Structure 1
Amino acid sequence: MVVPGADQDRHVPQLLAQLRGALDGSGPALLPLPADSAAAERLRGAAHPGLPVGTGTALVLATSGSTGEAKAVELGGAALTASAGATAARLGGHGRWLLALPLEHVAAWQVLVRSAVAGTEPVVAPAGDPAALPAAVAALSGGAGGGGARYASLVPTQLARALEHREAARALALLDAVLLGGAAAPLPLLERAAAAGVRVVRTYGSTETSGGCVYDGWALDGVEVALEPVGGGPDDDDAGRVLLSGPVLATGYRGRPDLTAEAFVQRAGRRWYATSDLGRTDAQGRLSVLGRLDDVVVTGGRKVAPLAVERVLADLPGVADALVVGVPDPEWGQRVVALVVPAAGGAAPPLEVVRAAVRERLGAPSAPRDVLVVEAVPVRGIGKPDRRAAAALAAHLLAPPS
């Protein structure tokens, strides 16, 4: 069943009923289309409408498109409900959810899945309007499932905007948990949320894992995390490609057995999803994600993980946001460049301060050679960093005047 993008937010009760049928197999699988017509047509093509739907498939979702190639992920009802059950176990029980994300994203559909499993109905809030949050949170106390735990799922951009709105921040502080995923969360943002009394739970996962499956660095029940050595990672002996396994894994990419075989691999008799992310685990097994493999900057023969550099920059006074990219350089191959958004009413730290801080924590190769002050870092979708656009912007700003 095709779910038109333009109608999704207005028909959540009907979608919830259709989803329940898809989850238990009594109804057809759902194919949500993005509201953007061009994106919807790309997904239609990637979904191969002439092919039969795999047994147990409940939902067919597009990936984020960061690679430029549209892929349709088949998610089984068992995988989706396993994810919902593991989330409830981690958070302390089922509850009622705030739906504040566009329904073309897996995190939004997981809000619906959790609601379907719990027998509750979510409250819808416009994705980009923090002023709507107080009324939406208040509505969570009424209706089906009212009076129990109250949760929300947001991306960092939404949380940052909500914290700038006094009443929205107070509303979020009333929730039992706010799941935060879709992009890396800067430490200052997490500190601001904690100071406002908002209980943030950082999530890591993807469409291929039915959404977030690692919470605050710890895998959900039934999920396993492993690291696989890679040749193109940063100069860190402990880092490796993140592999994820468990009942939450997708069936594969619809109509693309080649891509499915590449991404879903067998290791020691177990099926794993081989992510495109670099990670490291500590002595207790807690996962830290260092960024995407294809984001690694090779400068002077040394490999640098941009996300690690960004975390150092986020700790510096005067930095509201930062994005680190590689720009072609005739001497170094690539030069590490930082795009920095100054904090309100302040100034970005000078280059020598940035370099010293990064050099101390990560080593000299990771220290940016340029700091470019910008009003905002490029993003795509609902707040994920757009590193391609950022690299192009940095190259433009560094180009000599013609």
Structure 2
Amino acid sequence: MTPPTKQSAATKPVNSKSFPWTLLAAFAAVCAAFAYARTGSTRVDPQSERFLAWMAQRGIVHTGTHLVHLESDNRDVYTHKHFEKGDMLMIVPHEATIHDWMAKSDPSVSEYLKIYPKTDWVPIIASFILLHRNDPMWKSYFDFLPKTFSTPIYWSDAMLKEIEGTDLLEDVGRLRKDIEKEWDQWKSHLPAHSTLIEFTWAWHCVMSRVWTLPVGEGKNEAVMIPMVDVANHYGKPKVKIEYNSKLGAVTMTATQSIQSGEQVDVTYGEMSNYKSLKYMGFTMPDNDHNEDCRVRIFREPEDPPSYRIPRRWCLFQIKRLNRSLQECHLGQPNDPNVRERIAKAARAKLRTYPTTVKQDDDILERAGREQLSFDYLNAVRARRGEKTCLQKIARTANGAVQK
């Protein structure tokens, strides 16, 4: 699985321990407190207060930004000063991040990897979270992470019916089994009180917040970045996240002017609503150009010998649809018979959904007037995106056959 983030160029880091990050962060905390008092901003919740104090101890600098506590355990990042292009909003020292190779250095994780050396980075970092959940070095950060998520794994059976017939529903069941399998292998290496529920929670903490940056040895690593990971996804953010080898820290830098009082957003990269909902628990409106879907095609008895592939699951992405069509074949690219088979499979799959794209559009149009639940809105957007992709496949494949 690829982290849903942008990647920066790999650079070799320097030792950041010699830089007085703690003093700088403490000064930043005083400045932030002064800004709160001067602007009349309300204080954040106690858990956020502990997290802010922890950041100061770990040398995380976020001068000019602050947390806003929303409902439940949701929080956003806002500015309380003006930033010009090139200004740094946040500096997170390398030692205050959690990354792949750091997790691998834990004795329990290291022992596990001797048995399962090809383990993916997601359960590795998730297990590190459970192993160090009460470690004073990390506890305030882990306590600050969301207690639950809006991904379909946490949905009720009634809500899962809203994505009936989709690839997403099938994948949610498969993902549950994958997490359970990982848990069965990991549980003897984790604290005795750990549970599958906690392992699933830690897994989601990683997948919903991880970035890919060249920390550590200078090569790209999966990394969790405190404070930066609070910022929400937006397709056109005003900041960039990168690893600064001279500072030995991850930085958030303004790419254009940011006014005081603005919400700070980042981008996790362009992705379909299927992917963002499955891994992170949100969807985006007006996202048709990023949607994707799958179609299965089969070799039939009367097919020529050049059709050497018996069956194939093809992934189609709207923004690269022509290339996706070229890659979907049974051994002979650009074959009109296979294109017709793809169009037929897409139309057949569209008939299996309980609702049409038009019905979903009507529901989304009502969302501006009615109070629809967050999960329901996400379900409608995800299933609509998949159907929109299938419609596009059917039309494009048919057009190619006619030409």
Q: Same fold (TM over 0.5)?
A: no
Compare CA radii of gyration and give the structure with the larger one: 2
Instruction: Give TM-score, length-normalised by structure 2.
Output: 0.29
- When you count strand as a share of all residues, which structure comes out higher? 1
- When you count helix as a share of all residues, which structure comes out higher? 2
Instruction: Give TM-score, length-normalised by structure 1.
Output: 0.29
The structure, 1 or 2, with the larger RCO (C-alpha pairs under 8 Å, 6+ apart) is: 2
